Amino acid sequence: MSKLVKIFDTTLRDGEQSPGATMNVAEKVRIAEQLEKLNVDIIEAGFPISSEGDFEAVKEISKKIKQSQVAALSRTNSKDIDRAWEAVKGAKYPLLHTFISTSDIHLKHQLKISKQEVIRIAGQSVARAKRYTPNVEFSAMDATRSDVEFLSAVCNAALQAGATTINIPDTVGYAIPSEFGELIQTLRQRLKGVEKVTLSVHCHNDLGLAVANSLAAIQNGARQIECTINGIGERAGNTSLEEMVMSLRTRKDLLGFHTRIIPRHIYTTSRLVSKITGMVIQPNKAVVGANAFAHESGIHQDGILKEKLTYEIMTPESVGIPKTSLVLGKLSGRHAFRERLKELGYRLPEADLERAFGRFKQLADKKRDIFDEDIESIVVEEILRMPHRFKLVYINVVAGNVTVPTATVQLEVDGKLIQEAGFGDGPVDATFKTIKKITRTRSHLLQFAINAITSGTEAQGEVTVRLEEKGQTVIGQGADTDVIVASAKAYINALNKIEFKKQKLVGM
What's the structural domain count of the chain?
Answer: 3
Whether 79 maps to a domain, the answer reads yes
Residues contacting residue 41 through CB under 8 Å, at least 6 positions apart: 6, 7, 8, 68, 69, 224, 260
Whether 94 maps to a domain, the answer reads yes
Contacts of 145-150 with C-beta under 8 Å, sequence gap 24+, read 145/103, 145/104, 145/105, 145/172, 145/174, 146/102, 146/103, 146/104, 147/104, 148/183, 148/186, 148/187, 148/190, 150/102, 150/115
Roughly what angle, to the nearest 10 degrees, separates helices 210-219 and 241-250? 50
Instruction: Select the highest-mean-pLDDT range: 245-249, 372-376, 453-457.
Output: 245-249
Percent over 90 (pLDDT), the chain: 64
Q: Supply the CATH number for residue 35's domain.
A: 3.20.20.70
Hey, what amino acid is at 425? Answer: D
Angle at 365 between CA 360 and CA 368, to 5 degrees: 95
How much is the average pLDDT of 161-179? Answer: 98
Q: Supply the CATH number for residue 437's domain.
A: 3.30.160.270
Q: Give me the pLDDT at residue 313, please.
A: 81
Of 357, 383, 409, which closes a domain?
A: 383
Of 327, 351, 383, which closes a domain?
A: 383
Burial of 300 (0-12, 13-18, 19+ CB in 10 A): middle
Percent over 70 (pLDDT), the chain: 89
Whether 228 maps to a domain, the answer reads yes
Residues contacting residue 342 through CB under 8 Å, at least 6 positions apart: none
Same structural domain, 18 and 136: yes
Same structural domain, 230 and 356: no
Q: Give me the pLDDT at residue 381, please.
A: 67
Domain holding 425, by residue range, is 390-503
Angle at 311 between CA 6 and CA 323, to 5 degrees: 75
Whether 485 maps to a domain, the answer reads yes
* Least confident among 72-86, 232-246, 291-305, 355-369: 291-305
Same structural domain, 150 and 63: yes
Same structural domain, 47 and 144: yes
Q: Give me the pLDDT at residue 321, please.
A: 82
How much is the average pLDDT of 363-389? Answer: 72
pLDDT at 506 over 50: no
Q: Give me the pLDDT at residue 328, please.
A: 65
Alpha-carbon dihedral of residues 279, 284, 288, 294, nearest 10 degrees? 140
Same structural domain, 444 and 371: no
Residue 401 is given by DSSP the state: T
Burial of 416 (0-12, 13-18, 19+ CB in 10 A): exposed
How much is the average pLDDT of 16-36? Answer: 88
Output 114 or 503, whichever has higher pLDDT. Answer: 114
Question: pLDDT for 27-73, tens place per residue?
Answer: 999 999 999 999 999 999 999 999 998 999 999 999 999 999 999 99
* Least confident among 321-325, 337-341, 424-428: 321-325
Whether 292 maps to a domain, the answer reads no
Angle at 392 between CA 358 and CA 407, to 5 degrees: 125
Same structural domain, 321 and 201: no
| C-alpha–C-alpha distance, residues 172 and 484, integer Å | 40
* Least confident among 1-5, 76-80, 246-250, 429-433: 1-5
Residue 506 is given by DSSP the state: B
| C-alpha–C-alpha distance, residues 436 and 431, integer Å | 9
Of 352, 383, 414, which closes a domain?
A: 383
Residue 271 neighbours by CB distance under 10 Å: 23
Q: Average model confidence (pLDDT) for the chain?
A: 89
Question: pLDDT for 72-94, tens place per residue?
Answer: 999 999 999 999 999 999 999 99
Grade residue 481 by pLDDT with cuts at 50, 70 and 90.
Answer: confident
Question: pLDDT for 212-249, tens place per residue?
Answer: 999 999 999 999 999 999 999 999 999 999 999 999 99
Q: Give me the pLDDT at residue 505, please.
A: 34
How much is the average pLDDT of 413-427? Answer: 93
Is the pTM above the cut of 0.85?
no
